[in-house]
């Protein structure tokens, strides 16, 4: 069953050491429907609502990537024991917005909630945005003037009158597992969609080409006056910098490329890194991303925005560890396959996937599930043994990553069986929840 697990990570709390040496699941909220697959999450209020004392970050919005449903959870009454507040049912998304496969949710300065979607009720590819009332969470309609070809993640910046979205693929493709033929058939995306924040119209599609297949997570710099950010492209294993050029046009350029490894004993003869998550530290100094298949997390200094510098890297499992079925025959980066990694006597399963950075930039939390169907395909042990969550200690002065040897939660030991843990959120805020507004007196239009 889909569920939310509040975790106590305060080392001075009795709950921190009572049942786990360094972590405790303090509550479990199970959703009433099975198979929805909770994926990403967001808040009903964030920094875009600054200056409005009536707004409170008391609802967690949980789109379901498989079930076309959105759950709204009350975390304000008792954040240690969240409870279901309401839900947006599939028929509401289908009938009122003609959308499905909801993904990324952000709050707006108006108090409303905006959720990106990836398809329609028939699982065809369709990019769009559903708008929810911020109090009742009733579907108000769609945000965009015309639908996009594909959807996935998005970020907006009112100061620059722009929303930029990314593209995964058609639900009928990714829900059936990864098939390279679907890429050749055009069922996956390779564009950034630049939209006018005021008129809600598409103003440009940026074609990232063969080096930009499956652009997933997108992050503007946190500085609201900045006109640039980064997007990770999963299949191509690249990072693009997007930016506003001097002529006012939005453009993109490749700034990081992870070379594939030649292998035997795997589904294909070359293995991409598969960049599945990226984020930027709150001070806009460091970029982090995960290579889900290769099994490493990297830290880049991005003070020179066009020339990121690798300053930290750690391997945390993945598909090319020694002792497995995969043999690397050619690797432009490593001299030998990495060793399996253990924390508190347990081998790390799967590869690092979702990452979440603390506001002070010193703790990077990692989970290992991407999407259940893809987990089954690439890391079948996750369904049998469950995912894990661990933490990297971050050197945010000169750069560097190290695995904390004392911190692990094993979701394979849950009362209702092994769980696929995906995303982490901090009640007090993290490095991907909030969209900051410039103090310019410019109205936050939607």
Asked whether residue 79 is assigned to any structural domain, the reply reads yes
The partner residues of 29 in beta bridges, in order of sequence, read 4
Asked whether residue 62 is assigned to any structural domain, the reply reads yes
Query: Mean pLDDT of all residues in the chain?
Result: 91
- Tell me the per-residue pLDDT of 152-174, one tens digit each, with 9 for 90 and over: 999 999 999 999 999 999 999 99
Asked whether residue 186 is assigned to any structural domain, the reply reads no
Question: Do the Cβ atoms of 314 and 402 come closer than 8 Å?
Answer: yes
61-88 burial, b for 16+ CB within 10 Å, e for fewer?
A: bbbbbbbbbbbbbbbeeeeeebeebebb
Asked whether residue 373 is assigned to any structural domain, the reply reads no
Q: Show the domain range for 116.
A: 1-147
Asked whether residue 99 is assigned to any structural domain, the reply reads yes
Per-residue pLDDT of the chain (446 residues; tens, 9 = 90+): 565 555 555 544 333 332 333 456 777 888 889 999 988 898 887 655 555 555 677 899 999 999 999 999 999 898 888 899 999 999 999 999 999 999 999 999 888 999 999 999 999 999 999 999 999 999 999 999 999 999 999 999 999 999 999 999 999 999 999 999 999 999 999 999 999 999 999 999 999 999 999 999 999 999 999 999 999 999 999 999 999 999 999 999 999 999 999 999 999 999 999 999 999 999 999 999 999 999 999 999 999 999 999 999 999 999 999 999 999 999 999 999 999 999 999 999 999 999 999 999 999 999 999 999 999 999 999 999 999 999 999 999 999 999 999 999 898 888 888 888 888 888 777 788 778 778 654 434 44
CA distance 49 to 51: 6
Total number of domains in the chain: 1
CA distance 327 to 341: 17
Asked whether residue 24 is assigned to any structural domain, the reply reads yes
Question: Do the Cβ atoms of 425 and 388 come closer than 8 Å?
Answer: no
CA 281, chain centre distance (Å)? 15
What's the whole-model pTM score?
A: 0.92
Q: Is the dihedral of CA 93, 99, 100, 101 positive or negative?
A: negative
Q: What angle do CA 258, 260, 263 make, to 5 degrees?
A: 150
| Neighbouring residues of 96: CB distance < 8 A, sequence distance ≥ 6 | 130, 139, 141
Three-class HEC string of 144-184: CCCCECCCCCEEEEHHHCEEEECCCECHHHHCCCCCHHHHH
Asked whether residue 167 is assigned to any structural domain, the reply reads no
Asked whether residue 143 is assigned to any structural domain, the reply reads yes
* Closest-CA residue to 63 (of 84, 81, 37): 37
Question: Do the Cβ atoms of 138 and 162 come closer than 8 Å?
Answer: no
The partner residues of 366 in beta bridges, in order of sequence, read 355, 390
């Amino acid at each position: 069953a889909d569920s939310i697990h509040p975790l106590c990570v305060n080392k001075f709390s009795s709950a921190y050491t009572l049942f786990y040496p360094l972590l405790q699941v303090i509550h479990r909220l199970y959703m009433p429907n099975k198979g929805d697959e909770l994926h990403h999450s967001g808040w009903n209020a964030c920094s875009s609502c600054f200056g409005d004392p009536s707004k409170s970050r008391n609802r967690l919005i949980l789109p379901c990537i498989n079930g076309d449903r959105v759950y709204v959870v009350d975390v304000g009454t008792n954040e240690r024991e969240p409870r279901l507040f309401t839900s947006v049912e599939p028929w509401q998304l289908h009938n009122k917005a003609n959308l499905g496969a909801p993904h990324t949710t952000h709050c707006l300065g108006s108090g409303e909630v905006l959720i990106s979607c990836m398809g329609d009720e028939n699982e065809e590819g369709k990019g769009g945005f559903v708008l929810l009332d911020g109090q009742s969470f009733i579907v108000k309609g769609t945000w965009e003037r015309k639908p996009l070809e594909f959807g996935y993640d998005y970020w907006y910046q009112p100061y620059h009158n722009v929303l930029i979205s990314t593209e995964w693929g058609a639900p009928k493709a990714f829900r059936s597992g990864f098939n390279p033929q679907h890429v050749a058939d055009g069922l996956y995306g390779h564009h950034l969609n630049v939209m006018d924040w005021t008129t809600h119209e598409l103003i440009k599609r940026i074609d990232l080409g063969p080096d930009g297949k499956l652009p997933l997570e997108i992050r503007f710099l946190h500085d609201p006056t900045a006109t640039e950010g980064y997007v990770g492209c999963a299949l191509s294993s690249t990072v693009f910098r997007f930016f506003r050029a001097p002529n006012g046009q939005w453009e993109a350029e490749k700034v990081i490329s992870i070379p594939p490894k030649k292998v035997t004993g795997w589904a294909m003869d070359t293995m991409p890194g598969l960049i599945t998550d990226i984020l930027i530290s709150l001070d806009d100094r460091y970029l982090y991303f995960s290579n889900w298949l290769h099994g490493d997390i990297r830290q880049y200094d991005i003070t020179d925005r066009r020339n990121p510098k690798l300053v930290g890297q750690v391997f945390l499992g993945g598909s090319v560890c020694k002792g497995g079925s995969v043999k690397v025959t050619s690797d432009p980066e490593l001299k030998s396959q990495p060793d399996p990694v253990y924390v508190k006597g347990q081998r790390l399963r799967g590869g690092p996937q979702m990452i979440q950075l603390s506001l002070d930039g010193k703790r990077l939390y990692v989970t290992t599930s991407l999407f259940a169907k893809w987990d089954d395909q690439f890391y079948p042990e996750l369904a049998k043994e469950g995912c894990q969550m661990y933490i990297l200690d971050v050197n945010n002065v000169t750069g560097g990553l190290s695995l904390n040897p004392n911190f692990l939660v094993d979701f394979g030991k849950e009362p209702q069986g092994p769980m696929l843990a995906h995303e982490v959120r901090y009640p007090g805020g993290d490095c991907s929840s909030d969209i900051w507004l410039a103090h310019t007196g410019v109205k936050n239009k939607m």
